[in-house]
Amino acid sequence: MDTRKSSLKYELLLLVMSIIWGSTFVAQQIGMAKGVGPMTYNGLRFALGCLSLLPVILWRKKYVAPTEETSKLPVLGSLFAGLFLFGAASFQQIGLQYTTSANSGFITGFYILFVPLLGLFLGQKISKSVWAAIPVCLFGFYLLSVTADFKISKGDVLTLVCAVLWACQILVIDRVASQGDSLQIACLQFALCAVLSVLSGLFFEHCTLAQVKAASGAIAYGGFMSVGIAFTLQVICQKRCPPAPAAIIMSLEAVFAAIAGYLVLNQELTRRAILGCVLIFVGVVMAQVLPLLQRDEGGDRK
């Protein structure tokens, strides 16, 4: 009973994380609506996220006995992950100028499929559930993004590229996570993403201090809540709750993005788009959960 209560607690925290991440799509659009360019917004957002992790890292170094894991930091791997993070966040943020929070949330979720597909180049095998999920998600994408005259919005295409880059970032993190402390790795990649984004904003955008001040609430939400708090919750909770329910709860991020877009920005979805969202969600859950359930069943038979 105690184990189940503990697991439920962390599952609820994962749900909070998904709500934060989903609602951040709206904060990203609000920030740009105030005149802040996408690169500037990302630069400030990830800088705040990086700063929010520093007190946790410093507190742990002072009061928690170091382990072999927490005493190491794979600098090169973390920076490489930061490059992909910068690319993914940039394409997503720019894409949000031309699409809705719901579309961005659901299409970003395609990274779940791109991770195993790109893993083929690293010699990894793809489960049958992923192959089954691909046509479901593709048909959902067609209903969500492709118009009657077979045109795809610029924002949805950019977001699809973002999903590929998120998958690359995840594969890099998968390689380096076991080589050092996850919080320090995250902090370093956030820092690199912030620097590259700010430099891009200085070169390609023209944001005034007044515009940044007007968007400060949205920037703070995206930095402290999405990058800082939600990421920390993910690190803590995924180690302490079963993978199958964790995967489903984390997939709800796209659903919360659609709800937040409707409630805050009055972004409505057509019936066709809603069906597309449902199919994408089903496909993403299939790709994540079915292999875990099959693994559990295999363990029971033994």
The pLDDT value given to residue 302:
39
Alpha-carbon span 69 to 179, nearest angstrom: 7
In the chain, how many domains are there? 1
Q: What parts of the chain have a pLDDT lower than 70?
A: 1-6, 68-71, 148, 238-239, 243-244, 292-302
Size of the chain in residues:
302
| pLDDT given for residue 147 in this prediction | 76
SS3 of residue 267 by DSSP: coil
Instruction: Give this prediction's pTM.
Output: 0.87
Cα 109 from Cα 253, distance rounded (Å): 9
> What pLDDT is attached to residue 257?
93
For residue 213, the model assigns a pLDDT of 94
Single-letter code of the amino acid located at 219: I
Q: What are phi and psi of 248, to 5 degrees?
A: -65, -45
Full domain range(s) for residue 204: 2-301
Query: How far is residue 190's CA from residue 48's CA, in Å, rounded to a whole number?
Result: 9
pLDDT at residue 155, rounded to an integer: 94
